[in-house]
Amino acid sequence: MTRNLTPELLDSLPADDPAALHSRRDLRWINAAMGNHRWFARTLPRLLRQGERALELGAGTGELVAKLNARGVAIDGLDRAPAPLPWPATRAWHQHDLRTFTGFARYDAVIGNLIFHHLDDGELAQFGARLSRAVRVIVASEPTRSPRSQRLIAFAGRALGASHVTLHDAHVSIAAGFRGEELPRHLGLDPAVWSIECSETFLGAYRLIAVRRGPAVALS
């Protein structure tokens, strides 16, 4: 199954469109079913050193930032949309496109939840080159690219009353997802420089943990 990018319907809808609101509600159960937020909450804190700061790419509703903040992680948000309300006064929100954002050097770690698959191979290479010069830790959860994942989300989505936007976007997101070592390879992460761990879950999550080499850090 070749990686293929197709525009997602949610990206073209106004934020207050009923179909967009329905789709964002659907994304909550998708994240819950895949265990994405729980995985970040288990994974990120142990990778950060005392005083280090993290940035979530495509932070959206800010729910993941809030959960990590509650665990003591100093994490800010980056998204093309304005900051969600409420947003903690102690945390920064960068309303910017990640492709052109210039502030990554202010952070030690970046995380992305269902965001890297929006970039084509060329954009991933350019983005990876910028991250490699700036941060020490990259953590991502993306769709596993497989027909099985597409069948699973189609069945579960219809059973749970997902919107047509969600069903379309989930299908094309999976087609744009990753397998094996693809994501770190597309990002241009050199294994001589980075400790890299990729994994896939039964429910269709593709996970990447990349830590710049130095003092030993346990990935698992």
The share of the chain scoring above pLDDT 70, in percent, equals 97
Report the alpha-carbon distance of residue 176 to residue 145 in Å, rounded.
7
Report the alpha-carbon distance of residue 104 to residue 125 in Å, rounded.
16
Residue among 27, 63, 62, 67 at smallest CA distance from 44: 67
Hey, where are the domains in the chain? Answer: 17-212
Mean pLDDT of 123-144: 97
Report the alpha-carbon distance of residue 119 to residue 205 in Å, rounded.
17
Token couple for 72: 């003591």
Determine the residue type at 119: L
Mean pLDDT of 30-48: 96
pLDDT of residue 214: 75
How much is the mean pLDDT over the chain? Answer: 94
Alpha helices by DSSP H, 75-208: 121-134, 147-159, 164-175, 182-187
Conformation bin of residue 177: beta by default, left when phi > 0, alpha when psi is -120 to 50? beta
pLDDT of residue 215: 54
Crossing angle for the helix pair 36-47 and 63-70, nearest 10 degrees? 50
Please say if the pLDDT value at position 220 is more than 60. Answer: no
pLDDT of residue 219: 53
What is the end-to-end Cα distance of the chain in Å, rounded?
29
Which class is domain 17-212?
alpha beta
Q: Residue 156 CA to chain centroid, in angstroms?
A: 21
pLDDT of residue 1: 85
Q: What is the pLDDT of residues 58-101, one digit of tens each?
A: 999 999 999 999 999 999 999 998 999 889 888 999 999 999 99
Report the alpha-carbon distance of residue 173 to residue 118 in Å, rounded.
8
Q: What is the pLDDT of residues 164-214, one digit of tens each?
A: 999 999 999 999 999 999 999 999 999 999 999 999 999 999 999 999 997
Cβ–Cβ contacts within 10 Å for residue 39, how many?
18
* Pairing state between β 54-57 and 109-113: parallel
